[in-house]
Structure 1
Amino acid sequence: MTNRIFLSALCAACVGLAGAAGAQQHDPATPAAVAAKVALRGEANGIAVREMRLVRKNDILSVQADLSSSVRSDRTLFYRFKWLDNVGNQVGDGESWKQLTVLGLGQQTIKSVAPTGAAVDLRLEMNVEPR
């Protein structure tokens, strides 16, 4: 029984640390509600997700995310959307990584559609590299 309590406390501490580390990596221009749906792999490097719109049409979820660069130099963005069901499990096989160049001080919109109607939420996974 004590092992379960210790394991639960350890898991809660890891989740808390991961959440705190993730919150520090986001560009300050990314709203908190949007940042909760973004999983950064590394630093934001001047790329902010300004807005994210989710729409359900014909029982399929779709998303549009607006990105903007706050730096003068171009950035290479690698991204994919991970679609989740009502308990947080991944739906479908997962998208492959996509590459996008975000021009310095530029804006881009990225889009995706869920693979099935079982998707109710998503995470945008991103890796931003300086060029």
Structure 2
Amino acid sequence: MTIRTHLTAIGVAVMALTGAAAHAQLHDPATPIAVASKVALRGEANNIAVREMRIVRTNDILVVQADMANMGRTDRTVFYRFKWVDQVGNQVGDGESWKQMSVLGLGQQTVKSVAPTSAAVDLRLEMNVEPR
């Protein structure tokens, strides 16, 4: 392998790592890392932060409540859904449909969901925030 090929491979690796780091920074800084790992943000957060997420197992079924806070003064429309997964990461159930919710400026809303079956052991909160 030539020096030029080596440098090109290193450049590609650096760009890939930089892109991964930028992708990891998409979540709002006010969102705790443990919560951010359960949030799949589609696009920009636009001042919406998932401040807290509570997950409990009741009667062998997972139940979740997530608090979304609007850090800005303008109202935001949030589209969200929960994706439930089993032990190996496969989706459980047919999947939820997208739900729409308004979060007033400097306000907070709590969203709730229940797993479709007891096979669900984890979840992802998918969300898309309208820019205005």
Range class of TM-score, shorter chain: 0.7 to 0.9
**Structure-2 separation of matches of 1:123 and 1:18:** 22
> Map of 1:114-129 to 2, 5 A cutoff?
114-129=115-130
What is the TM-score when the length of structure 2 is the normalising length? 0.84
Q: CA RMSD in A?
A: 1.8
Q: Which has the larger radius of gyration?
A: 2
**Structure-2 separation of matches of 1:63 and 1:20:** 28
> Map of 1:71-90 to 2, 5 A cutoff?
71-90=72-91
Partner of 1:67: 68
Partner of 1:28: 29
**Structure-2 separation of matches of 1:88 and 1:20:** 23
Compute the displacement of 1:20 (Å). 3.1
Q: Give the ranges of 4+ consecutive aligned residues of structure 1 lying more than 4 Å apart after TM superposition.
A: 15-19
What is the TM-score when the length of structure 1 is the normalising length? 0.85
Superposed CA offset, 1:58-111 (max 9, x none): 000010001101100000000000000000000000000000000000000000
Compute the displacement of 1:18 (Å). 7.2
**Structure-2 separation of matches of 1:121 and 1:18:** 26
Q: Which amino acid aligns with 2:48?
A: I
Unaligned stretches of 5+ residues in structure 1:
1-14
Change beyond 3 A, Cα 1:111–1:16:
farther
SS in 2 for 1:116: coil
Q: Which amino acid aligns with 1:38?
A: V
Q: Identity of counterpart residues, as a percentage? A: 78
Task: Give the number of aligned pairs.
Answer: 118
